């Protein structure tokens, strides 16, 4: 794979990814604090309802944290060259989701100060929440530099087959597709960024060509081919 196809996150994407990672880390810290306070204050038969409320709150916080972490990895993905680092960065949401509940689950089921009923209800709720938090944090299709690079190569090949100039495409600040024409109905009148398909990936993680532009490009390509045939015949 040539260097021209190798994905390198833009400074703007790296900055946004750093921001998302900061949000995720702060959220995980908050979840850990709530967990510690719950272990210290709420493992009791008299505070069962509050314990359930705390479990729900921790779950909400961890899911939010995982969402931020996944967004950061899509903007600035890790490399697969270092397997351990790639796994940890890709799956940190799942790991932290479990860690934000595991101590509480253990403490609930091993506590001698609460009844079996409370253990069953609170322990069951915490176990279910831990499972949900872990699953929500899993990256089932983890982004990587290598995967993005291969996709960029495929996108360039596909776009060229439609007659699109892969070094001159357009995208808007809020859009999630790149466009072959700056007068496309979906971006007309908007502030646009332009550059190569690779630039759109590196800046925003855009990986899909606008369907309207695709159809227009195909039509133009067919018309151009037909014109050349006629010129050859004549």
- Residue 108: CB atoms within 10 A of its CB come to 25
Residue 12 CA to residue 9 CA, distance in Å, equals 8
Please give the pLDDT value at position 204: 77
Residue 185, CA distances (Å) to 81, 158, 180, 211 in order: 41, 22, 12, 11
CA angle 163, 169, 170 (to 5 degrees): 140
Please give the pLDDT value at position 139: 95
Q: Is 149 exposed, middle or buried (0-12, 13-18, 19+ CB in 10 A)?
A: buried
Please give the pLDDT value at position 224: 56
Q: How many residues does the chain have?
A: 234
- Residue 44, SS3 per DSSP: coil
What secondary structure letter does DSSP report for 196? -
Determine contact, residues 169/179, Cβ cutoff 8 Å.
Answer: yes
Please give the pLDDT value at position 162: 80
Residue 29 CA to residue 38 CA, distance in Å, equals 14
Q: Which residues of the chain have pLDDT under 70?
A: 1-5, 221-234
Distance of CA 160 to the CA centre of its chain: 28
Please give the pLDDT value at position 190: 83
What secondary structure letter does DSSP report for 79? P
């Amino acid at each position: 794979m040539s260097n021209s196809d190798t994905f390198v996150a833009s400074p703007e994407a790296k900055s946004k990814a750093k921001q998302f990672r900061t949000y995720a880390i702060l959220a995980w810290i908050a979840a850990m604090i709530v967990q510690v306070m719950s272990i210290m204050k709420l493992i009791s038969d008299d505070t069962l309802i509050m314990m359930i409320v705390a479990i729900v709150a921790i779950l909400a916080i961890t899911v939010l944290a995982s969402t931020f972490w996944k967004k950061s990895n899509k903007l600035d993905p890790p490399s697969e060259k270092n397997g351990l680092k790639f796994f940890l960065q890709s799956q940190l949401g799942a790991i932290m989701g479990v860690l934000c509940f595991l101590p509480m689950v253990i403490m609930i089921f091993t506590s001698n100060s609460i009844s079996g009923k409370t253990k069953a209800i609170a322990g069951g709720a915490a176990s279910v929440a831990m499972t949900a938090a872990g699953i929500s944090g899993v990256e089932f299709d983890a982004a990587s530099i290598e995967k993005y690079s291969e996709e960029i190569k495929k996108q360039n090949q596909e776009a060229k087959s439609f007659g699109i100039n892969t070094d001159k495409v357009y995208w808007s600040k809020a859009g999630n597709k790149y466009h072959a024409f700056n007068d496309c109905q979906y971006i007309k009148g908007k502030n646009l960024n332009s550059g190569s398909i690779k630039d759109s990936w590196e800046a925003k993680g855009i990986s899909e060509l606008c369907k309207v532009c695709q159809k227009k490009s195909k039509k133009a390509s067919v018309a151009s081919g037909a014109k050349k045939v006629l010129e050859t015949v004549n």
